[in-house]
Amino acid sequence: MPLDVVDLRSFYTTPLGSAARRFIGQVIRQRFANCCGQSILGVGYATPYLEPFRADSLRVLAFMPAEQGVVNWPSSGLSSSALVSPTMMPLPDACIDRVLLIHALELTEHPRELMAEIWRILTPGGRILAVTPSRTGLWARLDTTPFGHGQPYSRGQLRDLMRVTLFSPTRWTEALYMPPFQSRLVLRGAPMLERIGASLSLPGAGVQIVEATKQLYRPVILRQAMPQAIPQALPGLRPVLVPQAARTEKTSKAIVQ
């Protein structure tokens, strides 16, 4: 069952949600450092991570799945959020430069269709940043946070999904090395745990973050040519009905006599 948007919004108001937003947001800002004059789209529940891009980007949109629900964003001014079907987004082809996918890929029932739709709306050379729960992390094993719902991914699964949907993975990052507990002691030591885990690439991170670019070509599948059948000589056939010559007038008289 998809998460409700109210539960997602409530999580990010907690101290644990604020810490998760800070650590994941650092990676997102590093990967999408220069977005001046570009169009950015957040798919899923990406509004906690989109605010820093509003100043320099051409436009920033937030699309939320119909099963999840939608909230107004930003809180002031014109709304930039919309309730959509993730596999049929109301956008023309090749109109978005950057896509941030978070709280979406692990919750959708049709991940390939979602990635195909993102491929359609991305500009040539456009980039996608997908954040998914890690299969080996503790966050995916506890349902007390939004990262404990849906289908977690390993790096190999994400790589296969990207390649089959015509994306080329370029960078891999992990985040959320801290355990998903609301304890003050854990939250106080979370920055140190995050620095140590990221510097040493320790196993057990909470989320996988992959950056990929849109492929502009489709792979050609080589197929072995089928050998042509050599026609064989048919055995001699005898006609069933043999045509006879038409009788002339002399022949008819001879028969009568």
pLDDT, tens only, 206-254: 999 999 999 876 555 454 544 555 455 555 656 555 556 555 555 555 5
Question: Which residue, among 54, 22, 41, has the nearest Cα to 195 in the 3D structure?
Answer: 22
Tokens representing 253 are 């008289």
Mean pLDDT over 45-65 rounds to 94
Mean pLDDT over 193-203 rounds to 91
Give the pLDDT confidence score for residue 227 in this predicted structure: 53
pLDDT of 134 higher than 70: yes
Give the pLDDT confidence score for residue 224 in this predicted structure: 52
- Given a contact cutoff of 8 angstroms between Cβ atoms, the answer to whether 58 and 86 are in contact is no
Question: Which residue, among 112, 115, 126, 83, has the nearest Cα to 216 in the 3D structure?
Answer: 126
Give the pLDDT confidence score for residue 201 in this predicted structure: 84
Top pLDDT among 226 and 133 is at 133
Cβ atoms within 10 Å, residue 181: 15
pLDDT of 178 higher than 90: yes
Q: Tens of pLDDT along 26-52?
A: 999 999 988 888 999 999 999 999 999
Give the chain's domains with CATH numbers: 5-214 (3.40.50.150)
Q: The whole model's pTM is what?
A: 0.81
Measured in degrees and rounded to the nearest 5, phi and psi for residue 152 equal -70, 160
Q: Tell me the three-class secondary structure of 77-122, residue by residue.
A: CCCCEEEEECCECCCCCCCEEEEEEECCCCCCCCHHHHHHHHHHHE
Q: Tell me the three-class secondary structure of 55-89, residue by residue.
A: CCCCEEEEEEECCCCCCCCCCCCCCCEEEEECCEC
Mean pLDDT over 157-184 rounds to 95
Give the pLDDT confidence score for residue 99 in this predicted structure: 98
Top pLDDT among 216 and 1 is at 216
Measured in degrees and rounded to the nearest 5, phi and psi for residue 117 equal -70, -40
Give the C-alpha separation, 147 to 129, whole Å.
16
* Cα angle: 129, vertex 131, 137; to 5 degrees: 145
pLDDT averaged over the chain?
Answer: 87
Give the C-alpha separation, 152 to 145, whole Å.
13
- Given a contact cutoff of 8 angstroms between Cβ atoms, the answer to whether 54 and 61 are in contact is no
Q: Tens of pLDDT along 142-170?
A: 999 999 999 999 999 999 999 999 999 99
Report residue 255's pLDDT band, with 50, 70 and 90 as the boundaries. Answer: very low
- Given a contact cutoff of 8 angstroms between Cβ atoms, the answer to whether 59 and 72 are in contact is no
Give the pLDDT confidence score for residue 136 in this predicted structure: 92
Give the pLDDT confidence score for residue 34 in this predicted structure: 86
Give the pLDDT confidence score for residue 76 in this predicted structure: 85
Report residue 55's pLDDT band, with 50, 70 and 90 as the boundaries. Answer: confident
Tokens representing 111 are 């991940």
Q: Tens of pLDDT along 76-112?
A: 888 999 999 999 999 999 999 999 999 999 999 999 9
